Chains A and B, each alone.
Chain A
């Protein structure tokens, strides 16, 4: 059960699974809607100045299963896309944002000359911006997140690997004479840009097929890091949904006199699932919840989070601390 205290976004799934299991056991049709609300995708608002790539970031996030919206007020998480520099317009948008925000430093491949490569430069800039804004900032090369290379493109890449093209500028790459037709080169440039092209050519030269090349490009795009940050930023939303679902279930149990449902609301599995969601929240904000399965570990954890909840923390963290204490005490009771 130590996994309860270590996996991002596990809380929501654990709770939804526990609820689904109970609904299947009792054949209670009323719980389907509650479960759907808990499982619903997080709504992500992707905004950004024209030209910095909000649409490509939105496409990458949408491909990962997020529900994308333009309206920040109706969203659960706000993703602000910037490129090269943070403009006053971006700062205003982030200041006006009423939901948790994540900043994506797009076009990280064009972050400028850096001894460690453009991504290292972008990484440093992201760290500086994160310290300045107090928000998570993740570099990204959004167009590389989901690249599909056809046979013609792959063949062109092989030719380019054999015979180097002029890469001094984007114009030179398309205009300079080369065995690969200009039209194909132009298409490759639109799909991969110079950074993606260089890495794709290297991968093809090493004998990689279309799949591994796309996988390598996806790794370079840093989309998975963005998704991790997004998951972390949405942790309070998911905890809130679970808390709302529990309230709904308790009301349902009280109105219908369903004692079994009332017992489910405070059963061990339910409490542990809520506790896991609370762990997601505190870990997303930089806290660490100690694992361990021995009675001492559970007791120590319960005591630690009890004193944390009594300290000067936000109401959300107070609730989460209570949930973690409750979960730890149930685990302690179980292993004794």
Chain B
């Protein structure tokens, strides 16, 4: 079986060039360039890791972390400082890099450092030192044993870390769930009903007051119009139209206020029911025979008297005007009689209209009150139902949270018990493995420690 060498390092350090040179110079060795993802995917585990860094500057913490990760399961590591043909200060870089890598992990203190110029701009590649170091490392009879120990160390370390991670994962999940549960409980609103009722009451008061004001102004407006009119039909039509408009206006106002309330309370409100037609009836302009007769008699009497006075006055102007005086008196008397009768009839109609307007605005107000009350009641019912549903959902969520919490606490206890049971054994084996790695050649059986 051929030895496997992984060549790795930070980007642009010269990994590919070193790998290519090694492939040329060491045909009996499988060289894997880790910069090539396709080659790395199915590559066997390394016997030796060649860690390549550039001489441009000393290694950084991230380079050291990469070295630790790349050499986790392999004991044999050769560090290569490349591009020494380009960088005149490569000796200083080598010293600093050696020191930094050693301080990052104790095992790297004994790593062998060699230099190379794998892709020089002028001349031939210089990788003799790397080849020599690799050859020496591959011929080390202890290589397989140390690599096995290093793999063991990596496995044991991963197992211990995994147990600790599982432990802390469970604990973190438990604390997250607790915080989530606390938030749920805090958001549970015992004063939910009150917090709904108050804005609703406020809205009801505001809307009722606005509707009342609107009805008062409507009544004033219509009475003013009725007091001057002579056309009953026109006024009647106007009253019906204006009342309808006011009902629609107030309904619109209620809708807007309810929308505000909905956004304030965070609930969706039901669509309003259609506005019911308000019936006003007709103005009670009934037949009034007796009153008409009385008015006619009084008007006729007043007209006769006035006509007599006028006739006498005209006759007195000149002696030949007797006939003319009688005619003028009769005409004036008739005109006055007709005017008095007509005026009385108009006043009557106005009085009836005023009364009817009062009744109509009263009907509008009652209709609006009813409308406001019914819509607010529907809104309150919808909000309260939503709140109750929310609370029921919250209780379910809290119960689910509690169940999860119990599960995680149980799992955490199990994981802790497992860790406590197996950790000392694993730690003991790890110590033995590390002792084995420290010793140059050990013949002890590692697992049984005999």
Q: Which residues of A contact B (CB under 8 A)?
A: 49-52, 83-85, 87-89, 107, 110, 112-113, 167-172, 189-190, 193-194
Contact = CB atoms under 8 A, between A and B. Distances in A.
B86 A170 contact: yes
B58 A84 contact: no
Contacts of A190: 88
Contact of A110 (B11, B58, B87): B87
Contact of A89 (B13, B61, B88, B117): B61
A189 B54 contact: no
A327 to B, nearest CB: 46
Contact of B84 (A85, A171, A193): A171
Contacts of A170: 84-88, 90
Contacts of B54: 84-85
B58 A85 contact: no
18 contacts: A50-B96, A51-B57, A51-B58, A51-B96, A52-B57, A83-B57, A84-B12, A84-B57, A85-B12, A85-B54, A87-B10, A107-B56, A110-B56, A113-B121, A168-B120, A170-B87, A170-B90, A171-B88
Interface in B20-58: 54, 56-58
A167 B121 CA distance: 10
Given A84-B54, A170-B88, A190-B88, A113 B60 contact: no
Nearest to A82: B57
B96 A85 contact: no
A167 B56 contact: no
A88 B62 CA distance: 7
Nearest to B63: A87
Contacts of A52: 56-57
A194 B86 contact: yes
B119 interface: yes
Interface string B113-148: 000010111110000000000000000000000000
Contact of B119 (A83, A110, A113): A113
Nearest to A109: B86
Contacts of A194: 86
Nearest to A194: B86
B310 interface: no
B62 A87 contact: yes
A83 B123 contact: no
A168 B85 contact: yes
A171 B62 CA distance: 29
A193 B119 contact: no
B404 to A, nearest CB: 36
A84 B56 contact: yes
A190 B57 CA distance: 16
Interface centre among B10, B57, B84, B119 (most CB of A within 10 A): B57
B93 interface: yes
Interface centre among B58, B83, B87, B120 (most CB of A within 10 A): B87
A110 B60 CA distance: 19
B86 A51 contact: no
A264 B120 CA distance: 65
A162 to B, nearest CB: 20
B418 to A, nearest CB: 36
A51 B10 contact: no
Contacts of A89: 60-62
A190 B87 CA distance: 10
A89 B93 CA distance: 18
A169 to B, nearest CB: 4
A71 B57 CA distance: 22
Given A84-B56, A87-B62, A89-B62, A193 B88 contact: yes
Contacts of B12: 84-85, 112
Nearest to B117: A169
Interface string B76-99: 000000011111111001001000
Nearest to B56: A84
Contacts of A171: 84-85, 88
